[in-house]
Amino acid sequence: MKILVPIKRVPDPQTNIAVKPDGSGIVTDNVKFVINPFCEIALEEALRVKEQQGGAEVVLVSIGPKVTQEQLRTGLAMGADRAMLVVAEEELDPATAATVLKKIVEAESPDLVLAGKQSIDDDANQVGQILASSLDWPQATFASKVEFSADKKEVTVTREVDGGLEQVAFALPGIVTTDLRLNEPRYASLPGIMKARKKELKEVPLADYGVAGAAKVKTHKMAPPPKRSAGRKVETVQELVGLLHTEAKLI
Partner 1 sequence: MAKVLIFIEHAHGKLPKTSLVAIAAGLEIAKKQGLDTAAVVLGKGVDAVAAEAAAHGVGKVIAIDDAKLEHCVADLYAKAVAGCAKQLGSTWVVGAATAAGKDFFPRVAQLLDAGMASDITGLNDDGSIVRPTYAGNVMSTVSIETPVKVVTVRGTAFDPAPKAASAAAVEKAALPADATGRMRFVSFNETKSDRPALTDAAIVVSGGRGLKSGENFTTVLEPLVDVLGAAMGASRAAVDAGFVPNDLQVGQTGKVVAPQLYVAVGISGAIQHLAGMKDSKVIVAINKDGDAPIFNVSDYGLVADLFKAVPEMADEVKKIKAH
Ligand X SMILES: Cc1cc2nc3c(=O)[nH]c(=O)nc-3n(C[C@H](O)[C@H](O)[C@H](O)COP(=O)(O)OP(=O)(O)OC[C@H]3O[C@@H](n4cnc5c(N)ncnc54)[C@H](O)[C@@H]3O)c2cc1C
The number of beta carbons lying within 10 Å of the beta carbon of residue 197 is 10
The distance of closest approach from Cβ of residue 72 to ligand AMP in the complex, given in angstroms and rounded to an integer, is: 10
Chosen from ligand AMP, partner 1, ligand X, none, partner binding at 64 (C-beta under 5 to 8 Å by type):
ligand AMP
Chosen from ligand AMP, ligand X, partner 1, none, partner binding at 234 (C-beta under 5 to 8 Å by type):
partner 1
Q: What gap in Å lies between CA 72 and CA 81, rounded to an integer?
A: 11
Check residue 124 for interaction with ligand X (CB under 6 A). Answer: no
* Contacts to partner 1 from residues 19-38, by CB under 8 A: 19, 26, 38
Judged by CB under 8 A, the number of residues near partner 1 is: 81
Closest CA to 72 of 174, 207, 229, 202: 202
Closest CA to 159 of 128, 200, 124, 190: 128
Check residue 150 for interaction with partner 1 (CB under 8 A). Answer: no
Q: Which stretch binds ligand AMP (CB under 6 A): 13-21, 89-97, 137-145, 221-229?
A: 89-97
Distances (CA, A) of 19 to 22, 64, 95, 140, 193: 8, 20, 24, 34, 34
What b/e sequence results for 29-47 when a residue is b if at least 16 CB atoms lie within 10 Å of its CB, and e otherwise? Answer: eeeebbbbbbbbbbbbbbb
Check residue 1 for interaction with ligand X (CB under 6 A). Answer: no
Check residue 128 for interaction with ligand X (CB under 6 A). Answer: no
Which of 99/158 has CB closer to ligand AMP? Answer: 99
Q: State the residues that interact with ligand AMP by CB under 6 A.
A: 6-8, 36, 38-39, 62-64, 92, 94, 97, 115-116, 118-119, 122, 124-128
